[in-house]
Amino acid sequence: METKRELRNERKVFIRKVRRTITLVFFVVVFLLWNTYYLLQSDFLNLEEINVKQNTELAEEEIIEASRLITNRNILQYNLSEIEDNLKTHPYIKDAQVTRKLPRTITITVAEREKYAIIPYMGSYIYIDQDKVVLEAYSGGLIEGLPLVTAVEFNSFKVGEKIDIANYHLLDKVMELIQVAKEMEIIEMISEINMGDENNIKLMTFDGVEVLLGQTVDPIYSMVALKEILINLYARDMKNVVVDMRYEGQISVGTRNQWEENQ
C-alpha cells in the first residue's frame, strides 16, 4: 500500500500539472485575444475591393450602396448576414450572398428581380415582377416589351412588397400567360391584358388584334395557338381583328366589324 507521504507527493505533482495547464491555457487565450484585437485594429485587413456578381438590372454602385459597405474599414468587423439583409431591402434584389476573402476583398452575388408587367394606377405606372412584388412606381413613359395589365382592383401597394389587390386570382392567371408568352417569344407583341371581366380575360396586341381568352385559361395552349394565329395574321397583313378563344377546341378569327355584327 502507498504511504501517506507518497500520496501527498502524488497530489502535489497533480496540482502542479493542473496549474501549469491552467497557466498555459491562460497564455494561449491572452495570445489569441491580443492577436484578434491587433487584427481588428490593423490596416492590413482593411476592405479595399468589393466585387459584385450576376447583376444585370442594377449598377454595381447601387448594389454597393444598398449593402452599406465602406472601404478602409476592417473586413472582420463586418457581419455578412447583416450585409445580406441590407441588400434584400432593395426592391430589385430577390436574394444575396456575401462572402469574405482575406485579407481585403468582399464579394456580393445577387439574384435580381425582373420586370414582368406594368399596372397603371392613378396616373402612375407600377412595375411588378413574377412574384407580384412592386419594383417601382413611375410616372414617366412605359418600358417597351412589357405588357400593360389593366382593371386591377387595388387595395394598396408598397415598393418592395407584394401588391394588395382584390382580384388576385385573376392576376395569377395573367402572370402565367405572361410567363408562357415570354417563353414563346411573343411577349413583345402584347400591349395589354385586361382582367376587368372575371369570365373573359382579354389580350390586345400592338397590331390591334383583340384576343378573347374566356373564363378557363390554359396558358400553354392559349399562347401556342396565339403565336400561330399572329404569324398567319402578320403574313396576311391583317390588323384590327378579333380572335375568339373562349370555347375549348374552337377558335374563330374575324374583323372587328364581323365580330360585332355576330354579337
**pLDDT tens digits, residue range 42-53?**
677 889 999 999
Give me the pLDDT at residue 247, please: 83
Q: Is the CATH code 3.10.20.310 the one for domain 45-112? A: yes
> How do strand 117-121 and strand 49-53 relate by DSSP bridges?
unpaired
Residue in 62, 71, 18, 63 with CA at minimum distance from that of residue 43: 71
Give me the pLDDT at residue 246, please: 86
DSSP for 23-79, written as a single string: HHHHHHHHHHHHHHHHHHH-GGGB--EEEEES-SSS-HHHHHHHHT--TTSBGGG--
Residue reference for cell 399562347 = 223
DSSP for 110-147, written as a single string: EEE----EEEEETTEEEEE-TT-BEEEEE-SPPPTT--
The continuous run of DSSP H or E covering 82 comes out as: helix 80-87
Give me the pLDDT at residue 248, please: 77
Give me the pLDDT at residue 34, please: 58
Give me the pLDDT at residue 202, please: 93
Residue 197: CA count within 13 A, CB half-sphere: 11
Give me the pLDDT at residue 126, please: 93
Which sequence spans correspond to the domains of the chain? 1-35, 45-112, 117-262
The whole-model pTM stands at 0.77
Give me the pLDDT at residue 76, please: 86
Do the two domains 45-112 and 117-262 of this chain adopt the same fold? no
> CB 211: neighbour CB atoms within 10 A?
24
Give me the pLDDT at residue 43, please: 72
Give me the pLDDT at residue 17, please: 72
Give me the pLDDT at residue 114, please: 92
Mean pLDDT per 10-residue section of the chain, whose length is 263 residues: 61 69 67 59 81 95 95 90 96 96 94 94 91 89 82 91 91 92 92 90 92 82 90 86 86 74 60
Which residues are 98's β-sheet partners? 108
CATH of segment(s) 117-262: 3.40.50
CB–CB of 130/115 below 8 Å?
no
